[in-house]
Amino acid sequence: MAKVVFKSYNQNDNLLFPPCLGDFIADNDPVRVLNAVVDNLDISEIEASYEGGGASSYNPRMLVKVVFYAYLQNVYSGRKMEQLLKRDVNFMWLSGMQRPDFNTINLFRKNRLADVVDNLFTQVVEMLVEGKFVSLEVQYIDGTKIEADANKYTFVWKRAAKTNQGKLDKKVKAILKEAEKELDIELEAEKEEVMTSAEMAERTERILDRMDETGISDKRLRKTVSGVRKEAVAKMKEYEEKLEIAGERNSYSKTDPDATFMRMKEDAMNNGQTKPGYNIQISTENQFITHYSMSWRSTDWGTFIPHMEGFRERYGRQSKEAVADSGYGNEENYEYLDMNGIAGYVKYNMFHCELKRKYIKDPFLPEHLYYNTDKDHFVCPMGQHMEFCGEKQRVSDLGHIKKTRLYRARNCGGCPLRGLCFKGKGDRVIEINVRSRRYRDKARELLTSERGLHHRSMRPIEPEAVFGQIKYDGGFRRFHYRGNRLVKAEFATLAIAHNIRKLAKIKHDNVPHSAF
């Protein structure tokens, strides 16, 4: 039997030449890609934020590398970063064996990095453009809701605050009117608007001063008016503050006033409970994030135009194509695309229904009725003319005006097809939005073209795949900071980390590109 030989094992053995930490890191490791990218970033804004004097500071470029690499490794806690700087080779190599504590890292993230990370994100994308990884000619757009770092039971509803404000106003006005009547104070015409806390305080003081002047010592009246001054005025001021914080929103969280209550897909109790969160929109190309924006709106309809305008502001130009699902397909968004010369491969609600046989074969739908352009009337399946009878105008919550034309049939009584045509009373009236119909026809033409079929097949593997990697692979389902400023900065850091991870994967797979 052969003799067993073991390699020498001595934990206290000293090396003749100390090793370099870089020797333990592979040439194609993502940390090297991140290191090269950050070395090419302009961080002069961060450097300018240091005042100088006192003890020496950690190099800001080193801290940027540590934070970005931590997010690339799905580590979001400053305390965990501090631990990894002591035991992880990659972190030790990035920091040059320096060990900033969690407090230093967190203060750097909040006070220095947060205000410039959006610019760093833009620089990273411009590097990707230079390397021909992305072109910025097309945007695949989608949104997701991410929960805020806030208690889900700290909600403030705008409607409730407004209702309670109205009740308090009505009650106080009745009390003050009665007091003014007893004191023979000249009564002014009551305004329909709710009194402000300042007006209420002023009116209350006037009543109390009058009581002092006339020497009236009605304890009940004085107690009632004093109660208004102490309690009602404070309560009215509270309602005013709540409504001011809410602004256009329907709710906010006391823990994070910038967060809005929304229904999330991640509903553990499956009861449709709302949670405080932010609606994050992203544009992707080749699964790189090229732009992001944040909104308080729970639906995507009203986020499209601000998102597109943000893209223009970021790069000084607009993409030639935009691809999105039916959550963005409304008249206002189509109008924006048309006015800016952007090819919009954006679905609308009825797009897939229109492709089904049942829809195509239905002769009673307004879209299938013959329209006489010269005489401006529609013709129903029975040959009856539907004449123009008026217009409707609606204003969306975004301020967009929608105009629809109404066409009424002359006489539907006794029509043998009435039960198939419509089930309402009287003669049938159809509403036609000419402008919306024109935009939908254009969108349908684009979506069913060869280019449109390509974009439709790519959209599910573009932004949706990116959100999957961030939320499910990376475990990022809740923000770790509060307020618009820090939440936006955290997502920018997350987007940079995602782009570098994607870039490192391409380099690891040896996909040829002209840069990096």
**Residue among 305, 352, 302 nearest 327 (CA):** 302
Q: What pLDDT does 297 receive?
A: 92
Residue in this structure with the two tokens 């797009």, named with its chain if needed? 351
Residues 451 and 346 in one domain: yes
Listed residues 433, 456, 487: the one ending a domain: 433
**What are the pLDDT digits (tens) for 59-74?**
999 999 999 999 999 9
Kindly give the pairing relationship between strand 155-157 and strand 343-346: unpaired
Query: Per-residue pLDDT for 185 more than 80?
Result: no
Same domain? For 345 and 451 the reply is yes
Nearest residue to 279 via CA among 254, 304, 257: 304
Residues 344 and 358 in one domain: no
Residue 439 in any domain: the answer is no
Confidence band, pLDDT 50/70/90 cuts, at residue 516? very low
Do 346 and 422 belong to one domain?
no
Contact yes or no for 465/286 (Cβ under 8 A): no
Q: How would you class 324 by CB atoms within 10 Å of its CB: exposed for 0-12, middle for 13-18, buried for 19 or more?
A: buried
Weakest-pLDDT range from 121-125, 494-498, 503-507: 503-507
Question: How many structural domains are present in the chain?
Answer: 4
Boundary (domain end) residue, out of 113, 146, 180: 113
Query: pLDDT by residue (tens digit) across 25-42?
Result: 888 899 999 999 999 999
- 247's tokens: 């602004």
Is 96 a residue whose pLDDT tops 70? yes
Domain match, 428 and 382 both: yes
Any idea which residue has 């009584």 for tokens?
A: 413
Distance, CA of 189 to chain centre: 45
Same domain, 160 and 245: yes
Structural domain contains residue 273:
yes
Residue 127 in contact with residue 38, Cβ under 8 Å? no
Torsion over CA: 35, 41, 109, 485 (sign): negative
Average pLDDT over residues 222-249: 88
Establish if 245 belongs to a structural domain: yes
Which residues form the domain of 371?
A: 353-433
Give the ranges where 183-303 is alpha helix by DSSP (H). 197-214, 219-227, 233-246
pLDDT band at 419 (very low <50, low <70, confident <90, very high): confident
Q: What percent of the chain has pLDDT over 70?
A: 94
Within a domain: 169? yes
My answer on whether 334 and 454 are in the same domain is yes
Q: Are residues 340 and 287 in the same domain?
A: yes
Backbone angles phi, psi at 138, to 5 degrees: -135, 145
> Residues 389, 478: one domain?
no
Residues 232 and 287 grouped into a single domain = no
Percent of the chain past pLDDT 90, that is, above it, reads 56
**Does an H or E element contain 332, and which?**
helix 331-339
